[in-house]
Amino acid sequence: MVRRAFAAVVLCALAGVSAAAAALPVKRPPLTWMRGDGSYTKASRGTHAVTTIVIHDTDGGSLDGNVWYLSGGHSHASAHYVIARDGSIVQLVHLSDIAWHSGNASVNAHSIGIEHVGDTYDPAGYTTAEYRSSARLVAWLVRRYSIPVDRTHIIGHSQVPDPNNPALLGGSDHHTDPGPYWRWGYYLNLVRHFAFPERYAVHVDTTTIDRGETLSGIVPWVVRTKRARRVEFLLDGQLVWSDSRRPFAFGGGRGWNTTNVANGTHLLTVRAIGTGHHIASERLVVDVANRNFALTTSAIHAWEKVKGVLRVRANVRGAHTGGIGLYVDGHIVSRDRRAPYTLHWDSRRAHDGLHRITLAAVARDGRVAKRRLPLVVSNDVRPKRPPLPPPEQNLADGQIVTGPLEWHAHTVGPIARVQFVVDGAVIATETREPWTTTWTPTPGSHTLEVRAFTRDGRQATVAATVSS
């Protein structure tokens, strides 16, 4: 079951890669050659003769010391490679020759021995550089010799049988390296990544935005990838969004608001990040072309005099809106969510005089369009005031007068001014009580009027016709 599932996964992975990707070359990492004399067996092993890789540690010492020990015939031991703490690699024995590393001649005959500078029982273990260099080397070896990447074919020295006593392990001297601190899982994963980059290579399949596309408003930007764990979205080289969950989408799926950038050419980059430093990126040059978002209204002008119910027709251009609002002195008085947009305001609810009107619309992309203008409300609404009582005078209708005589008036209310009028001609104007003047009648009939005025222009009159 496990085998079947694994096979299916591998097939899926391979089905998704192009022919070029399937043939990704795996290179041998750089190394230094130091061929020793002796301590190995001359052979001419071909690619089928090598089936196993044996991992060792040097149990102390430096790279130089171990190379000297393993290469110069100073011991009856050798290895094909020694890996230093800093990751540098030295090769001592040619791959076609047999190194004496495992304490078991038949294992040596079909294996490659790799020493790592370190101590079997040191909890500090081995360096990352050491693991990575070694894994790169083994990746190249497993491709070259078609060795499966598993714990049957890549083994520790501690797994090699004692040739004299098959019940014991670690070769003839019962070695226990590379020991309990060697991280097998991590190491074999590294080997797999380096050996089969095509299986792990991330790939940007599609994005919802096309190269060269002209964009406006809010645009969905979703990326389909193979094997990505995270996708980064860059705008003109700046990271603007990162998504770690499928579907990988800019803005959490809300889309990219193109109105936040200037119109013109922009570079969008999608960076898909997989495991083990695998990155694939895709660059898209797009053209952003947003129209200005503006609000238009029916004929209504600044400082216009209005009265009664004001009806304003409005519309937007450049983008879609969810509605238009009418504000008076900062307070919403009318809102219309559907075109054609008509807004109403009963100006009789406001006092006469200057008011600030604002029409405002919000585009779906978040832009705001406003039109402000002052209007003068003039409904001519005045408070009803009580009628001014007429003044009284000391001369009565039909009275016979002889002059000169004192002519008095008496008023009620806030009278500012009184005129004394004879036959239509003003003979005196008084601005202070008592209201009085002197008149010398000429013979005949005369019409006498007293006109009283308030400060705000109201007027009341009393008249009498007298004779002399």
Contact footprint for Zn ion (CB under 5 A)? 56, 157, 175, 177
CB 260 within 8 A of CB 219: no
What is the smallest separation between the CB atom of 44 and Zn ion, expressed in angstroms? Answer: 25
What is the smallest separation between the CB atom of 209 and Zn ion, expressed in angstroms? Answer: 56
Of 74 and 356, nearer to Zn ion (C-beta) is 74
Of 177 and 198, nearer to Zn ion (C-beta) is 177
CB 337 within 8 A of CB 345: no
**If 0-12 CB within 10 Å is exposed, 13-18 middle and 19+ buried, where does residue 82 land?**
buried
User: Helix %, strand %, coil % for the chain, to 5?
Assistant: 15, 40, 45
What is the smallest separation between the CB atom of 81 and Zn ion, expressed in angstroms? Answer: 13
- Token readout for 418 is 């009184």
CB 436 within 8 A of CB 428: no
What is the smallest separation between the CB atom of 37 and Zn ion, expressed in angstroms? Answer: 21
Of 79 and 288, nearer to Zn ion (C-beta) is 79
Point out which residues pair with 243 in neighbouring strands: 231
What is the smallest separation between the CB atom of 157 and Zn ion, expressed in angstroms? Answer: 3
Count of other CB atoms within 10 angstroms of residue 286 = 20
Of 99 and 218, nearer to Zn ion (C-beta) is 99
Identify whether 340 is preceded by a cis peptide bond (ω within 30 of 0).
yes
What is the smallest separation between the CB atom of 109 and Zn ion, expressed in angstroms? Answer: 16
Instruction: Measure the CA angle with vertex 226, ends 223 and 227; round to 5°.
Output: 115
Alpha carbons 11 and 31: distance in angstroms, whole number: 34
What is the smallest separation between the CB atom of 121 and Zn ion, expressed in angstroms? Answer: 14
- Token readout for 228 is 């990505």
Of 178 and 325, nearer to Zn ion (C-beta) is 178
* Residue 446, CA distances (Å) to 266, 393, 424, 449 in order: 97, 15, 10, 10
What is the smallest separation between the CB atom of 173 and Zn ion, expressed in angstroms? Answer: 9
Of 70 and 343, nearer to Zn ion (C-beta) is 70
What is the smallest separation between the CB atom of 174 and Zn ion, expressed in angstroms? Answer: 11
Please state whether beta strands 154-156 and 52-57 pair in parallel, antiparallel, or not at all (unpaired): parallel
Point out which residues pair with 464 in neighbouring strands: 448
Of 157 and 451, nearer to Zn ion (C-beta) is 157
- Token readout for 191 is 């080997």
Question: Terminal CA-to-CA distance of the chain, rounded, Å?
Answer: 141
Of 56 and 355, nearer to Zn ion (C-beta) is 56
What is the smallest separation between the CB atom of 52 and Zn ion, expressed in angstroms? Answer: 14
Of 177 and 336, nearer to Zn ion (C-beta) is 177
Of 175 and 451, nearer to Zn ion (C-beta) is 175
Alpha carbons 134 and 98: distance in angstroms, whole number: 19
Alpha carbons 42 and 35: distance in angstroms, whole number: 12
CB 414 within 8 A of CB 382: no
CB 137 within 8 A of CB 84: no
Count of other CB atoms within 10 angstroms of residue 336 = 18
What is the smallest separation between the CB atom of 210 and Zn ion, expressed in angstroms? Answer: 58
Of 56 and 451, nearer to Zn ion (C-beta) is 56
* Residue 401, CA distances (Å) to 73, 203, 406, 427, 437 in order: 163, 122, 11, 17, 15
- Token readout for 132 is 């990575």
Of 175 and 203, nearer to Zn ion (C-beta) is 175
Alpha carbons 182 and 378: distance in angstroms, whole number: 92
Please state whether beta strands 445-454 and 459-467 pair in parallel, antiparallel, or not at all (unpaired): antiparallel
What is the smallest separation between the CB atom of 3 and Zn ion, expressed in angstroms? Answer: 31
